[in-house]
A = this chain, B = another copy of it.
Amino acid sequence: MNGLSLFKRASRAFDDYPTLAKLIVVCTVSGGGYVAYADANSTSGAHAIAPVSEIRKKKVVVVGTGWAGTSFLKKLNNPSYDVQVISPRNYFAFTPLLPSVTCGTVEARSIVEPIRSIVRKKGVNVSYCEAECFKIDADNKKVYCRPNPDSSMNGKEEFAVDYDYLVIAMGARPNTFNTPGVVEHCNFLKEVEDAQRIRRSVIDSFEKASLPTLSDEERKRILHFVVVGGGPTGVEFAAELHDFVNDDLVKLYPAAKDFVQITLLEAADHILNMQSGLADVGFDKRITDFAEKKFHRDGIDVKLGSMVVKVSDKEISTKVRGNGGEITAIPYGMVVWSTGIGTHPVIRNFMQQIGQTNRRALATDEWLRVEGCSSIYALGDCATINQRKVMEDIAAIFKKADKDNSGTLTVKEFQEVIDDICERYPQVELHLKNKKMSDIADLLKMAKGDVAKEAIELNIEEFKKALSEVDSQMKNLPATAQVAAQQGTYLANCFNRMEEAEKNPEGPIRFREEGRHRFRPFRYKHFGQFAPLGGEQTAAQLPGDWVSIGHSSQWLWYSVYASKLVSWRTRVLVITDWTRRFVFGRDSSRI
């Protein structure tokens, strides 16, 4: 993979010459100065696009302004749509920096960009409406909305919006696993407001612990910060909090030093150990080990195999595995709950409506179309792709491949459809790659051009046997920003080329019907993952089992995140925030 090796080489360069990375950050920023200024001041053509044709434009309604919705909007450039965006957040938030916002390493405003300014410079007619979608009516092609309930304005009038195409990108809710007390007593870390609330709570805890009326035991309880969930978010928050306390707060609250404790509770055997996800998504054992050891040195108490069973206002009860199921109650001051994602209530209702029950997320096909609904697309955390199983289509595939209707498949016939099969059923390609079907792969490879070998025949039973294990390779995509952003971009490209693809379909053969699919199905490319561990050290897991841990990865992290930010404004803001933090430390004012 070309992108990968470039990435790898660049990273290695960063490792060898750490100043190079710093230089790149500096150049990126200063070089961007003029671009930024020009960008911020260009208004020409903002609303001066003439309608392309007189026919009624198709109305696309996009619900949500997170990673999926925003990258869809950013890439959509076909002026033949009228786009209506509905979301209670009038901004896009760069969520990977949320843990940094909890401790003031970056400011909340630096990681957000108004959705109106993201869409206003495009040739497409996009209008935004700050409202919450509370019901989807697929039969009448309508979504029902009400004004943002958080708003201070007192309007409550509900309204309906018609659509020709609906793009659902509402994201997910935190998953409490129905643990009692979680909703009432825990902080979550999904929205910008959550991060701001956590920041205030941390300061509140330190102020509260400084009051003269408390016993030392109470102080200890109040300054006990518990993080539930050892995934990337929980780990990063624990690391950020540790840095905030030790770099900044102990200077201002010297008496608090002896009472502060950070505890990380993880139900599995290791932190950063994601069970779901693609084969190559997740963290390497080396990273997990490093993180656990670093946290141990830092004094962060990592309790593995601890499952939270109840949260009350002052105590959190856990069941430790291998301990006879005994329940321990730990006094705490603040809990951050970061264990995974659950279903948005509106999505749950809609799923009931269309008969998709007992699922966490909306099932779509490989083209991100919601199963059973024409004209509705779902992407990001609120959706999962229901990858079609090869075994379900095995007879149709065999029939399509067997062009001479002989009842057997020659290697040559197989060769002709294998690319379409791999495209339609990516699990086959994965299986071929992992050398679990090396005999067939070798056969197909070696037989090329060899007439004798090309004549080797397979019958349907042999064919079935060869592909029987393929479907076990199927895994769900993880609920990450990377997946959502790629889905948004993919879908926008489909929408951009909709008419064109109708005439010249570019997808794989339809095995059950005639012709080809209009588009290639969505394929996720994993570019790696970071886990900042505090103290200017970050673990980076890049594709191809490539692992980097330490200060150089921190600079790689700075560079990648700075470059990924949505606008020059946020880029400059985040980088100045990092600089401010370096010079002045983090602020502890309670605002």
Interface, chain A (partner B; CB < 8 A): 36-37, 40, 43, 46-47, 89-91, 107-109, 112-114, 116-117, 120, 127-131, 147-148, 151-155, 157, 159, 161, 192-193, 196-197, 200-201, 203-205, 207-208, 210-214, 222, 251-254, 313, 333, 568-569, 572-573, 576, 580, 583-585, 587-591
Contacts and interface: CB of A to CB of B under 8 A. Distances in A.
Contacts of A157: 211, 213
A569 B580 CA distance: 8
The 5 lowest CB-CB distance pairs between A and B, nearest first, are A91-B589, A130-B207, A116-B252, A153-B208, A569-B584
Contact of A112 (B161, B201, B253, B589): B589
B159 A211 contact: yes
A249 B47 CA distance: 15
Given A90-B207, A148-B204, 19 more contacts: A40-B583, A90-B203, A107-B109, A108-B591, A109-B587, A114-B252, A114-B587, A130-B590, A131-B211, A147-B208, A148-B207, A152-B201, A152-B204, A153-B205, A153-B208, A157-B213, A159-B213, A193-B591, A576-B580
Given A193-B591, A591-B112, A591-B193, A208 B155 contact: yes
Contact of A254 (B36, B47, B108, B254): B47
Nearest to A36: B583
B252 A109 contact: no
A203 B47 CA distance: 21
A304 to B, nearest CB: 29
Contacts of A588: 90, 114, 116-117
A456 to B, nearest CB: 63
A123 B127 CA distance: 59
Contacts of A152: 197, 200-201, 204
A473 to B, nearest CB: 42
B211 A130 contact: yes
Greatest chain B CB density within 10 A among A37, A147, A222, A587 is at A587
Contact of A151 (B204, B212, B587): B204
Contacts of A155: 208, 211, 213-214
Contacts of A129: 210-212
Contacts of A568: 584
Contacts of A161: 212
B251 A589 contact: no
Nearest to A313: B154
A26 to B, nearest CB: 16
Nearest to A192: B591
A197 B313 CA distance: 29
A346 to B, nearest CB: 19
A591 B194 CA distance: 11
B584 A572 contact: yes
Contact of A591 (B109, B148, B151, B204): B109
Of A46, A205, A212, which is in contact with the most chain B CB atoms at under 10 Å from its CB? A212
